[in-house]
Amino acid sequence: MSLFITFEGPEGSGKTTQIRRLAAALEARGWPVLATREPGGTRIGNAIRNLLLDPIHTEMVPRAETLLFNAARAQLVDQVIRPALAQGTIVLCDRYADSTLAYQGFGHGQDLDELRMLIRYATGSLTPHLTVYLDIDPAVGLGRKRQGQDEEWNRLDAKDLAFHQAVREGYLRLAQEEPERWLVVDADQPQETVHRRILEAVEARLAALQTPPPGSSITGQRRGR
């Protein structure tokens, strides 16, 4: 059994917080969990991340941006995600391929069909089992991020509000196209409310697989260590 869950959302939607809470809840139930992020998660990916998000690189064109994101993604998929899934680990990823469609597609106005071809190549057609979209008004989300101390303010954050609004509209359209894969959650709610909604959806997916956590008995109770 393996489960690949990605988290998407506008800036300041609380993805990092919700991934940490979900990982802790799943681990407490006996599931092996790996949390990673895009761009990054590998030595090569982290180097690309620094290049992509550094506010100094204002001259970066959308096509170069797109290729760099997908180069980091290809490394992450082959080096981290696929091996973890092969071992039966639940993988939680902070952003994935849908980010390219939302930001570089709807945000920058690049051709979605061309982007999908590039994504298929970069990921080897690896698609998440579940994508959690934390929805929030971009102005509210950016305000949150400006006030936060744990998150970096990067080159994409600095885009104008119209760009971020186009990204949000893109995400919502993608979710409408694949409702069976997407879980849309209002992120402008208390963190605990958002967490419970996500955990319920993930537990439903796990139950559908009819596989208990490693170390569980037939009745689903964890064994003593």
Q: Which domains does the chain have, with CATH numbers?
A: 3-209 (3.40.50.300)
For residues 142 and 217, give the distance between their C-alpha atoms in angstroms, rounded to a whole number: 46
How far is Cα 168 from Cα 125, in angstroms, rounded to an integer? 24
Question: How does pLDDT run across 102-158, given as a tens digit for each residue?
Answer: 999 999 999 999 999 999 999 999 999 999 999 999 888 777 777 764 456 666 766
Tell me the C-alpha distance between 116 and 42, whole Å: 23
For the chain, the C-alpha Rg in angstroms (whole number) is 18
Alpha carbons 140 and 134: distance in angstroms, whole number: 13
pLDDT tens, position by position, 80-113: 999 999 999 999 999 999 999 999 999 999 999 9
Task: Say what the pLDDT of residue 47 is.
Answer: 97
Dump pLDDT digits (tens) for 24-34. Answer: 999 999 999 99
Q: What is the structure's pLDDT at 121?
A: 98
Tell me what the pLDDT averaged over the chain comes to: 90
Q: What is the mean predicted confidence (pLDDT) over 45-60?
A: 91
Of 8, 7, 9, 11, nearest in space to 158 by CA? 11
Enter the pTM of the model: 0.89
